[in-house]
Homo-oligomer: A and B are copies of this chain.
Amino acid sequence: MHIDRFSEVSDRYKVIFLDSYGVLINHRGLIPGVVECIARLRAEGKHLRVLTNNAARSAQAASRRLVKYGLPGFPPEEIITSGATTRQFLQQKVRSGKVAYLGTAAAAEYIIGAGLEAIPVAEVDMSRIDDIKAIAFLDDEGYDLNTDVNRVINLLRQSQAPVVVANTDLLYPVTANDVALATGSIARLAEYVLGRQFVKFGKPAMQMFQLGLESVGRELTDVSLSDILMVGDTLHTDILGGNSFGIDTALVLSGNTRRESAATEIQSSGIFPDYVCASIGE
């Protein structure tokens, strides 16, 4: 497996889409060299967007979090969250009424931002479910698995409202060794036991890439897909999504995919990045 230097790869593109966790930061904090890399890309006039599978915080909060980690200078307008694509869907398809959700109050802002009323699954009146115009799997926390998962399954069995999953990640890291179930797992479980398919946002789905393209299109005329590079640490989300959208992709080894198993994982998944780099900071 050939390892490319990221600076040589990025030279070939006008627009760089970056995953956040595993590319900019990881469980040890800011990834070494990232501040310098981002500064260099900006100096070269590259257009940057962060595409993050996250419906737990707003673009504003995500921007502040990067500052806290030591990476200033990503304004909210440059951050595309899977929550934002979910909000867009709710706004266009649901338009008015109540949305029952699993997640934190912060995540519910995406529902409220769509002009809808957010109601935690735990507070749904099960005798009046016709009120519920959509059901949303938003965030990994903010609910009680013992009661709320059964509640949402019974709600889903009786409701014909559209169901959206704002982040399809299955697990999230809690320490260097340990993981926890993410809301994507709960949604997947509900799909499986009910034999249904929900509408999913977050990479590898297209909508975030489309939103990123439209956002760049507002500052750069005539942008074509061949001008864009997607940089990510996860084959099944960042690289599969970028490849499917028709843009070039670079896998970095500073997050989910480890150097020693990268070649095997690429080969066995059949998800081939155009480049492999150690990290964007090296």
Contact = CB atoms under 8 A, between A and B. Distances in A.
Interface of A: 88-89, 92-93, 95, 144-146, 149-150, 153-154, 156-157, 160-163, 170-171, 177-181, 185, 188-189, 192-200, 205-207, 210, 224-226, 240, 243-244, 246-248, 261, 264, 268-272
Given A93-B248, A162-B243, A226-B95, A181 B153 contact: yes
Contact of A92 (B92, B145, B226): B226
A184 to B, nearest CB: 9
24 contacts: A92-B224, A92-B225, A92-B247, A93-B225, A93-B246, A93-B248, A145-B149, A149-B181, A150-B180, A154-B177, A162-B243, A170-B192, A170-B193, A181-B189, A189-B192, A194-B270, A195-B268, A195-B270, A196-B271, A197-B271, A198-B270, A200-B244, A206-B207, A264-B264
A178 B160 contact: no
A243 B93 contact: yes
A178 B154 contact: yes
A197 B269 contact: yes
Nearest to A240: B197
Given A156-B270, A162-B272, 11 more contacts: A89-B246, A92-B224, A93-B247, A192-B192, A194-B270, A196-B269, A196-B270, A197-B270, A198-B270, A206-B206, A206-B207
A199 B243 contact: yes
Copies in the assembly, this chain: 4
Contacts of A150: 178-181
Most buried by B among A95, A243, A272: A243
Nearest to A248: B93
A216 to B, nearest CB: 15
A24 B199 CA distance: 27
A149 B186 CA distance: 12
Contacts of A180: 150
Contacts of A95: 226
